[in-house]
Chains A and B, each alone.
Chain A
Amino acid sequence: MAWYVGRRLLQMVPVFFGATLLIYALVFLLPGDPVAALFGDRGVNEATAARLREQYNLDEPFLVQYLLFIKGALSLDFGQSFTGRPVIDLIADAFPVTVKLALVALAVEAVFGIVFGFLAGLRRGGWFDSTVLVLSLVVIGIPVFVLGFVAQFLFGVKWGVVNPTVGSDPGLTDLLLPGVVLGALSFAYVLRLTRNSVAEGLSADHVRTATAKGLSRPRVMTVHVLRNSLIPVVTFLGTDLGALMGGAIVTEGIFNVPGVGNLVYQSVIRGEGPTVVSVVTILVMVYLLANLAVDLLYAVLDPRIRYA
């Protein structure tokens, strides 16, 4: 196990530096003046431009710039937004809300995805299975912002079941609708994954043995089939964080949830390039770390990975 963890951590190092270098190079090595580009469609404000050049050390050679940026990132210093507040403070304020939203989304997709996927997998090829498969494709096909607007209009405006927008300091019930919208896409993937995995598990040797030794059908189905088919689902939920973050930018923007995604959304709309780049870079870093954590969890769940 320790060997696996060590190897996985070592593999992580080049990917982490590579990915951050990639983003940094995209921002500052593209032709044209990066500071002017950071202002977007607005005119360049000389005072801010000078501060940005200093903040990103643009007078140094490129690699030195990058290393200074990483040094800043590791000490959680990401510079300031246009309003003068440190970016890390903005994120610290918004982060708990996003975590709450992500938990609602994860709970929705995990519970509904696994239950429906399990039922569909048990009767592969039946009417329930076929209906659920087509419906899940439809859900995957609808872009998240379309789903967000439709849900906002139907539940918030037309039927008035919930508030169409979430204000500051939202509770779990306020986050229910945005959470369902955010989780909908991955719900469909979790469903399909669980279904295939359960359907395959049904014909596995260990399941036949469990039935043959006289275990009751519910026990075989839950302990021997379902539990084993959850392993790929757990991995998916980890890698899915990336899609969840992208979706959060849109969902939080639509429902006005004061989270990290909304921070990106508002910064993009207002043309605050530096804030966008800093926050999204942090999101990518969080994504990389979360993936590492899931990989380690995966090894705990599945001994075959540890010893491979």
Chain B
Amino acid sequence: MPDRPTAAVRPGQEHHVAPLEETPLAAVDAVDEQAPPTSLWADAWRRLRRRPLFLVSSLIILLLLVVSLFPSLFTSVDPRFADLTRSLQGPAEGHPLGFTQQGTDVYSRLVHGARASVSVGVIATALVVVIGGVVGALAGFFGGWLDAVLSRFADIFFAVPLLLGGIILMQMLDTRNSFTVALTLAVFGWPQVARIMRGSVLQVRSNEYVTAATSLGLGKLKVLLRHVVPNALGPVIVVATISLGTFIAAEATLSFLNIGLPPSTVSWGGDISRAQTTLRTDPWVLLWPSIGLSVTVLSFLMLGDALRDALDPKGRTR
């Protein structure tokens, strides 16, 4: 850029504008040209680590992951070992939370139950992000008839409420395990991600750098994968985190109705369902898995809320 012609300084005007080195603005304006540019992610991280909501929820989730990966670190009692002579007894040496009606250890079942919830949540969310992400990205990026077909297809699945669809599908399945429950939830959960991804891709697609990449001769698929998708992921990550929480709650509800995970799998939903018969006399047996479940769902919701503030400037609640 050529030097700007310096405007002629008229008499009396020179003292209105202080020289740059004398104003406090100089300090603000000093941009380190060598520093790498702040990316969307670095910016989000800077915003996130100051939020107590984020710190608390991610610590809980970290603990939850450790518990579900290595439950034996926290208890050495077999969650399936039933001693009917100790049915519904209170806390005892080595059994801090007492016993269920079947005489199994409440604390051990609380610890071992985390794995069922976390694995269903993680598998379902992974499926939903992959299916919904691909469908949404294709619909948003290519538009036209592909968008019309994919969007109407998603509408059909979106029209069936998650729990109602889940009840029908689980009723029809012979094999009930973490994977089939996750699959069932994913079948009715993916359209939400697809809608978010489509909207996000539509927005990113109209940016100048996408036009630039296209005009430089980059293939359509490459533009989509290298430039559009990475920048459109923010809102999807937010919705995926919140979905993880809702999937865990839905799994527990299905297990509570006895059509989710089988009784042989240690799960919070199943434990709550079995404890309801003794609610009036021994409420604590029901209380502990309920607390485990609620804290888990809540921490994913809180993480999603914090991530929304950081990643999705439009939905920012301030």
Contacts and interface: CB of A to CB of B under 8 A. Distances in A.
A169 to B, nearest CB: 24
A78 to B, nearest CB: 14
B265 interface: no
Among B155, B171, B279, max chain A CB count under 10 A is at B171
B141 interface: no
Given A23-B160, A246-B162, A146 B294 contact: yes
Nearest to A254: B276
A43 to B, nearest CB: 14
Interface string B278-318: 01100100100010011101110110010000000000011
B272 A27 contact: no
Interface stretch (B89-97, B104-112, B215-223, B256-264): B256-264
Contact of A18 (B155, B162, B245, B301): B155
Contact of B169 (A26, A32, A144, A269): A26
B172 A250 contact: no
B293 to A, nearest CB: 6
B192 to A, nearest CB: 12
A124 to B, nearest CB: 7
Nearest to A14: B152
A288 interface: yes
Interface in A121-145: 124-125, 133, 137-138, 140-145
Given A34-B172, A37-B174, A138-B298, A288 B159 contact: yes
B252 interface: yes
Contact of B257 (A18, A27, A143, A268): A268
Interface stretch (A48-56, A104-112, A278-286, A299-307): A278-286
A264 interface: yes
Contact of B159 (A18, A27, A137, A164): A18
B252 A143 contact: yes
Could you say which interface size class chain B belongs to?
Answer: 35 or more
A150 B289 CA distance: 12
A8 to B, nearest CB: 13
A149 interface: yes
Contacts of A245: 161, 163-164
Contacts of A145: 252-253, 256, 272
Contacts of A19: 156, 159-160
Contacts of B187: 26
B165 interface: yes
A146 B253 CA distance: 9
A143 B171 contact: no
A246 B163 contact: yes
Contacts of A157: 279-280, 283
A276 B160 contact: no
Interface in B215-246: 245
B294 A153 contact: no
Contacts of A32: 174
- Counting chain B CB atoms within 10 Å of each CB, the highest count among A19, A152, A273 belongs to A19
Interface in A33-53: 34, 37-38, 40
Nearest to B276: A149
Given A15-B156, A30-B172, A157-B279, A264 B165 contact: no
Interface string A71-88: 000000000000000000
